[in-house]
Amino acid sequence: MSPVSRVPLILLALLGTSASALDWALEGEWKGWKEVHAKQYLKEEEAFRRAVWEKNLRKIEQHNQEGNSFQLAMNHLGDLTDEEFNEMLSSFRSDLADQPGKKVALFQESASLETPKEVDWRTKGYVTPVKNQGHCGSCWAFSATGALEGLRFNRTGKLIPLSEQNLIDCSWKLGNQGCHGGYITRAFEYVRENGGINSETSYPYLEKDGSTCSYNSQDRAANCTSVVVVPVGNEVALEQAVATIGPVSVAVDSRSFYFHFYKSGVFDSSSCTQLVSHAMLAVGYGTLQDGGNNTAYWILKNSWSEKWGEQGYMRLVKGTGNHCGIANQASYPAL
């Protein structure tokens, strides 16, 4: 699906993008990028997409020359404006965030627990390959399946990708809105109330909503009996949860340009706020030793394919005041 169709032609005309404003020295690079990412445009729209891509490319190059803690790179999403990006891909609903109540338990922080210096659940077999949500605001479903996959692995010793489409199609009555956003905790609650979730293979991803729910209890691949939330904004509690439970679902502010084009390093950006917009999966944490300076980081699994970030992952600075709101909406399922 091309994002092009989302921009009305009238808008393109209003934006007044003319071919003459483009940098023709980038012609080869543009062609190469289109080919690598299999992009196709209508003739009228190509100049607009090219202009957006050029603007993004220049901003990426500028950032990389400034000596920051993290680097950016052009990626498969390079023809989107920040606004389109956010409309499409930052779809975690935090406006009605779940508070701990009778349906949700609160993680109990321990005053005495000594957590390991480094944790990486990928090396313990808890984490499935990086997935791709495509042009559908279903990050919440990918974050939830990631935590459920880890829990299932812990209980059964077997790692099986679970179905986001199952959550997209079937959890509307809990307040989730398919490709238009949803809540991680309500995805877990759906699995609990439903008594299970199907696997990715038995209920494949369609990258769109509108299908009727076709959950099949014969193909139940995992369960969840309770939902636990981490105290809001508490990175110490989040570290304890990640260290003792396994992968934990989190949400962050993903709305900046720098987040969209993150490539490598420890993400630490003054553009990040506490207002979370995008669900991810915390699969561990560690410390970068760079000369005399130590930088603690979270390891976050994203659902924007392996083309984004460090093979689909981000390292986000940890313990510096809840950067990007990392601990504002953390939760995990339990059996």
CB of 292 to ligand NAG, least distance (A): 5
Q: Which is nearer to ligand NAG, 154 or 226 (CB)?
A: 154
Among residues 56, 302, 323, 328, which one is catalytic?
302
- C-alpha closest to that of 69 among 239, 325, 323, 332: 323
Which residue matches tokens 């300076």?
Answer: 293
Burial, 40: exposed, middle or buried (Cβ in 10 Å; 0-12, 13-18, 19+)?
Answer: exposed
Taking the CA atoms of 258, 306, 244 and 194 in sequence, report the sign of the dihedral they define.
Answer: positive
Residue nearest ligand NAG (C-beta atom)? 291
Q: Which of 135, 260, 278, 323 is catalytic?
A: 278
Angular region, 270: left φ>0, alpha ψ -120 to 50, beta rest: alpha
Residues that bind ligand NAG (CB under 6 A): 154, 157, 196, 220, 222-223, 290-293
328 is catalytic: no
- Tell me how far, at minimum, the Cβ of 246 lies from ligand NAG, in Å: 7
Phi, psi values for residue 130, rounded to 5° = -60, 135
Nearer to ligand NAG, 8 or 292 (CB): 292
What residues are paired with 220 via a beta bridge? Answer: 198
Residue 98 is given by DSSP the state: P
Q: Which is nearer to ligand NAG, 122 or 180 (CB)?
A: 122
302 catalytically annotated: yes
Nearer to ligand NAG, 21 or 335 (CB): 335
Query: In the complex, what is the shortest distance from the CB of residue 39 to ligand NAG, in angstroms, rounded to a whole number?
Result: 39
Confirm whether 76 is a catalytic residue.
Answer: no
Task: Report the relative pairing of strands 220-222 and 119-120 from DSSP bridges.
Answer: unpaired
Structure tokens at 297: 């980081």
**Minimum Å distance from CB 212 to ligand NAG?**
24
Q: Which residues are catalytic?
A: 139, 278, 302
